[in-house]
């Protein structure tokens, strides 16, 4: 039955999604679609032929019901009478090899066929130039496989454009890296691999412009088809993914349909069990081969945690977090040692002694500060970290700039102003002075420093009343082996806890272990972009706390708070 589309925002939430995904049911909720438009779109979509398969079978032959449910929702949300679309955005999270790029090409061709707007622009945005060429070849191949479509469209290979000869609508395939992407006039936009935009410092502006086009084109839509990120979600990808989850879970009501093939929380650690594979791979047995996945799992187990994390994220949509990105054993126990409320303020208020560690490099690096306190009753060690970044980091390490902005929002990192060259040194000294004023610093070995490049910090601390005896040079590299082993054990047995800071999740994911004879040392996973300074600062502090320090004469904390200004 065809009914006029309601103007109010449709409820696209799916609160029972965990139950549905475990039963293999559709992840598209029941919606008041325009049946005529929905079925017309499905007929067209099913008729298209897949050009890169032997025999060029139709999409109707090779696709499963989940694809057709999605196509119905996309095109059935359009009302041909009012020329408006009830759902303006679509977000599909699905693992690799489930026909993602092939489906994307077919959807954009279907949109070009059904489009009613003269001279409409249709953008298919791929993450790289190589993938953009593949996407264009797929769309072009779909058209060449059908004589009627070949007569209806004009293809210009050198420009990667496909023009509808009647309406003038034009499909443009662009690469996020290399092409200038603007969305000021796009009626339909399909983004392949949104997670790649996390590396772009200009991504928020691009998405703002793409969405802005829909304001004057109520018949259009923006669709994102992506796998999980190869690193913990950051930047615009994290924002888009969290918004999609909020809509799916009913926490936010927007004209968005989110179809997320990800494991329920209780099953996320069971992704290596083949029984969970069909839950997030709807094309298992079609474009996804179970034997291939089993072979990849065998290889990843042999290659270690980093390879396992990569396999989990790309083929099973398991979000990478701490303990998955790097190969340090301690990272595997970091998450279980997180405790809500472990902050600098709690350390000052509840600990009998505290020490600090500092680590950092040049202007294109982070300056990390780690504080460890020993609880006056439980004797647990409580860790907290902060970092400072000069603007040069954002310019020279553009691929991590969105991630650093996220950490700034979370309160874990301070990005300094252009005219504040010493703000990081002042910030470190401010925290250490707070520990001194609270009478938590020991008389000797209170602040651990990398011996190189610390003169400015030493001068600033001296001006705050920190004595030479309270400063300690901490040997780096293999000399930190006892601390690396020590913190691993304390994380596992629960005698070292921390606040679960998002920045530290990322930092630990960057940490790699190198064996040097009988010693070990922590290095960065990748030069430049992978920062580990806050972790090294914590290890410096860990070395000092391992000496079982005794603090100065304790003071009344309530009186201290009243007499001092607490810096947020």
Out of 114-118, 123-127, 128-132, give the one with best mean pLDDT: 114-118
- Give the span between the Cα atoms of 310 and 272, in whole angstroms: 13
pLDDT of residue 197: 79
Above 90 in pLDDT, residue 555?
A: no
Give the start-end residues of each E strand in 127-185.
153-156, 161-164, 170-175
- Give the span between the Cα atoms of 164 and 112, in whole angstroms: 7
Continuous H helices in 7-88: 17-23, 35-47, 59-62, 65-76
Task: Check whether residue 312 and residue 430 sit in a common domain.
Answer: no
Q: Which helix H or strand E contains 458, and what residues bound it? A: helix 455-463
Task: Check whether residue 459 and residue 487 sit in a common domain.
Answer: yes
Task: Check whether residue 234 and residue 370 sit in a common domain.
Answer: no
* Number of CB atoms found within 10 A of residue 15's CB: 12
Task: Check whether residue 311 and residue 197 sit in a common domain.
Answer: no
* Beta bridge pairs of residue 170: 121, 163
- Give the span between the Cα atoms of 228 and 29, in whole angstroms: 22
| 187 or 506: which leads in pLDDT | 187
- Give the span between the Cα atoms of 475 and 257, in whole angstroms: 54
Q: Which of 263, 288, 303 is the last residue of a domain?
A: 263
Q: What are phi and psi of 145, to 5 degrees?
A: -75, -5
Continuous H helices in 48-127: 59-62, 65-76, 100-114
What is the mean predicted confidence (pLDDT) over 28-51? 97
From 497, 477, 479, 478, select the one nearest 487 (Cα to Cα). 497
CATH number of the domain where residue 443 is located: 3.30.420.280
Confidence of residue 518 (pLDDT cuts 50, 70, 90): confident
Could you tell me if residue 525 is inside a domain? yes
Q: What are phi and psi of 415, to 5 degrees?
A: -95, 120
Above 80 in pLDDT, residue 449?
A: yes
pLDDT of residue 513: 73
Supply the mean pLDDT for the chain: 88
Tell me the residue range of the domain where 238 lies. 17-263
Above 90 in pLDDT, residue 395?
A: no
Could you tell me if residue 178 is inside a domain? yes
Task: Check whether residue 193 and residue 44 sit in a common domain.
Answer: yes
What is the mean predicted confidence (pLDDT) over 396-411? 88
pLDDT digits (tens, 9 = 90+) for 232-273: 788 889 889 999 999 999 999 999 999 999 999 888 889 999
Name 346's Cβ contacts closer than 8 Å, sequence gap at least 6.
382
Could you tell me if residue 81 is inside a domain? yes
Above 80 in pLDDT, residue 324?
A: no
Q: What are phi and psi of 566, to 5 degrees?
A: -85, 120
What sign does the CA torsion over 521, 525, 528, 533 have? negative
* Number of CB atoms found within 10 A of residue 105's CB: 28
Residue found under tokens 């000294």: 429
DSSP designation for 255: S
What is the mean predicted confidence (pLDDT) over 163-183? 83
Confidence of residue 19 (pLDDT cuts 50, 70, 90): very high
Residue found under tokens 């700039």: 401
Task: Check whether residue 154 and residue 127 sit in a common domain.
Answer: yes
Confidence of residue 6 (pLDDT cuts 50, 70, 90): very low
Could you tell me if residue 5 is inside a domain? no
Could you tell me if residue 323 is inside a domain? no
Spell out a b/e string for 427-437, using b for 16 or more CB atoms within 10 Å of the CB, else e: bbbebbbbbbb
- Give the span between the Cα atoms of 348 and 119, in whole angstroms: 64
Name 445's Cβ contacts closer than 8 Å, sequence gap at least 6.
355, 469, 470, 472, 544, 547, 549
- Give the span between the Cα atoms of 76 and 271, in whole angstroms: 34
Q: Which of 318, 341, 358 is the last residue of a domain?
A: 318
pLDDT digits (tens, 9 = 90+) for 47-105: 999 998 999 999 999 999 999 999 999 999 999 999 999 999 999 999 999 988 899 99
Name 27's Cβ contacts closer than 8 Å, sequence gap at least 6.
14, 17, 20, 21, 66, 69, 259, 260, 261
Task: Check whether residue 162 and residue 185 sit in a common domain.
Answer: yes
Our count of domains for the chain comes to 3
pLDDT digits (tens, 9 = 90+) for 198-239: 777 677 888 888 888 888 899 999 999 999 988 878 888 988
pLDDT digits (tens, 9 = 90+) for 52-68: 899 999 999 999 999 99
Above 60 in pLDDT, residue 3?
A: no
Residue found under tokens 């408006």: 84
Q: Please, are residues 375 and 353 in contact by the beta-carbon 8 Å criterion? A: no
Task: Check whether residue 256 and residue 274 sit in a common domain.
Answer: no
Task: Check whether residue 355 and residue 499 sit in a common domain.
Answer: yes
Q: Which of 226, 247, 263 is the last residue of a domain?
A: 263
Q: What are phi and psi of 245, to 5 degrees?
A: -65, -40
Q: Please, are residues 381 and 372 in contact by the beta-carbon 8 Å criterion? A: yes
CATH number of the domain where residue 184 is located: 3.40.50.300
- Give the span between the Cα atoms of 505 and 264, in whole angstroms: 21
Could you tell me if residue 324 is inside a domain? no
Could you tell me if residue 403 is inside a domain? yes
Above 90 in pLDDT, residue 325?
A: no
pLDDT of residue 400: 85
Above 70 in pLDDT, residue 175?
A: yes
* Beta bridge pairs of residue 315: none
Task: Check whether residue 24 and residue 67 sit in a common domain.
Answer: yes
Q: Counting every residue, how long is the chain?
A: 568
pLDDT digits (tens, 9 = 90+) for 478-501: 888 888 899 999 999 999 999 999
Could you tell me if residue 300 is inside a domain? yes
Percentage of the residues of the chain whose pLDDT score is greater than 90? 65
Above 50 in pLDDT, residue 163?
A: yes
What is the mean predicted confidence (pLDDT) over 386-397? 91
Task: Check whether residue 272 and residue 336 sit in a common domain.
Answer: no
Task: Check whether residue 306 and residue 339 sit in a common domain.
Answer: no
For β-strands 170-175 and 161-164, DSSP reports them as antiparallel
Q: Which helix H or strand E contains 439, and what residues bound it? A: none
Q: Please, are residues 353 and 312 in contact by the beta-carbon 8 Å criterion? A: no
Confidence of residue 565 (pLDDT cuts 50, 70, 90): very low
């Amino acid at each position: 039955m065809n009914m006029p589309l309601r103007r109010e925002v449709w409820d696209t939430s799916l609160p029972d999604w965990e139950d549905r995904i475990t039963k293999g049911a559709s992840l598209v909720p029941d919606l008041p679609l325009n049946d005529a438009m929905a079925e017309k779109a499905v007929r067209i979509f099913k008729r298209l032929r897949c050009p890169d398969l032997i025999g060029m079978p139709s999409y109707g032959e090779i696709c499963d019901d989940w694809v057709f449910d999605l196509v119905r929702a996309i095109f059935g949300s359009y009302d041909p009478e009012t020329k408006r679309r009830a759902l303006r955005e679509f977000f599909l999270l699905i693992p690799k090899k489930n026909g993602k790029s092939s489906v994307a090409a077919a959807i954009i061709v279907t949109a070009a066929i059904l489009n009613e707007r003269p001279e409409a622009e249709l953008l298919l945005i791929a993450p790289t130039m190589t993938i953009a060429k593949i996407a264009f070849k797929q769309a072009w191949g779909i058209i060449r496989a059908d004589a009627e479509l070949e007569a209806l469209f004009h293809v210009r290979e050198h420009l990667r454009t496909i023009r509808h000869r009647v309406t003038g609508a034009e499909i443009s395939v662009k690469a996020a890296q290399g092409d200038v992407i603007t969305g000021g006039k796009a009626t339909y936009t399909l983004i392949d691999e949104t997670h790649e935009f996390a590396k772009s410092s200009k991504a928020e502006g691009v998405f703002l412009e793409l969405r802005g086009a829909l304001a004057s084109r109520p018949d259009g839509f923006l669709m994102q088809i992506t796998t999980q990120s190869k690193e913990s979600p950051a930047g615009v990808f994290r924002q888009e993914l969290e918004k999609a989850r909020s809509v799916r879970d009913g926490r936010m009501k927007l004209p968005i349909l989110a179809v997320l093939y990800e494991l329920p929380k209780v099953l996320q650690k069971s992704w290596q069990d083949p029984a969970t594979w069909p839950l997030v791979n709807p094309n298992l047995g079609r474009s996804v081969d179970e034997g291939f996945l089993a072979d990849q799992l065998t290889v990843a187990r042999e290659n270690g945690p980093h390879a396992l994390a990569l396999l989990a994220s790309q083929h099973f949509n398991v979000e990478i977090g701490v303990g998955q990105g790097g190969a340090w054993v301690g990272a595997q126990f970091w998450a279980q040692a997180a405790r809500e409320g472990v902050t600098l303020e709690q350390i000052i208020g509840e600990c009998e002694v505290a020490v600090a560690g500092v680590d950092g490099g040049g202007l294109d690096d982070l300056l990390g500060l780690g504080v460890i306190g020993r609880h006056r009753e439980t004797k647990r060690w409580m860790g907290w970290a902060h970092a400072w970044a000069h603007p040069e980091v954002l310019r020279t390490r553009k691929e991590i700039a969105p991630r650093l902005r996220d950490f700034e929002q979370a309160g874990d990192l301070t990005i300094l102003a252009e005219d504040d060259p010493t703000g990081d040194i002042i910030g470190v000294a401010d925290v250490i002075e707070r520990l001194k004023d609270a009478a938590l610093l020991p008389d000797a070995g209170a602040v651990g420093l990398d011996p190189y490049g610390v003169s400015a910090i030493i001068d600033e601390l001296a001006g705050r009343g920190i004595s030479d005896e309270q400063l300690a040079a901490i040997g780096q590299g293999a000399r930190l082996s006892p601390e690396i082993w020590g913190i691993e054990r304390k994380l596992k047995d629960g005698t070292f806890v921390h606040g679960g800071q998002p920045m530290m999740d990322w930092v630990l994911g960057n940490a790699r272990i190198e064996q040097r004879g009988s010693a070990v040392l922590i290095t960065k996973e990748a030069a430049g972009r992978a920062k580990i300074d806050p972790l090294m600062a914590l290890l410096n502090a860990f070395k000092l706390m391992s000496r079982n320090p005794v603090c100065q004469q304790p003071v009344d904390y309530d009186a201290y708070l009243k007499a001092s200004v607490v810096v947020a």
